[in-house]
Amino acid sequence: MILQAFLVLAAALFSVGLYGALSQQSIVMIMMGLELMAAAVIVAAAAFWYFVSPARPDGQVVVVVALVLMAVDMAAGFAVTTAIFRRRDLDVTDSATDLKG
């Protein structure tokens, strides 16, 4: 495959994630959109590293670390969302405006 195909895939993932994050009111759907946007950045970075220096494993290590950090971040976000839902029975962003600090 060529680099442009991976970049088109990353752009499509980012576009879908951006639309999902901006058009939804549900906190979970917004987080899914953010997850897609982060995955698009990781796909683009991995493609660049593969085509720039395929023999070196440092790009793969960075991608794996980014995926682990993304998973931890989303797990923490879902834990906070679950706690808010259980405590206040809120699942949309418009109802959670009193959480601003």
Q: pTM of this prediction?
A: 0.78
Question: 45, 43, 17: which is closest to 31 by C-alpha?
Answer: 17
Least confident piece of the model among 24-33, 37-46, 78-87, 90-99: 90-99
| H/E run at residue 33 | helix 27-52
The CATH class for the domain spanning 3-90 reads mainly alpha
Beta-carbon contacts of 27 under 8 Å, excluding residues fewer than 6 positions away, are: 81, 84, 91, 92, 93, 96
What band does 91 get if pLDDT is binned at 50, 70 and 90?
Answer: low
Per the model's pLDDT, the better-predicted residue between 88 and 98 turns out to be 88
Q: Is the pLDDT score of 47 beyond 80?
A: yes
Domains in the chain: boundaries:
3-90
Per the model's pLDDT, the better-predicted residue between 27 and 14 turns out to be 14
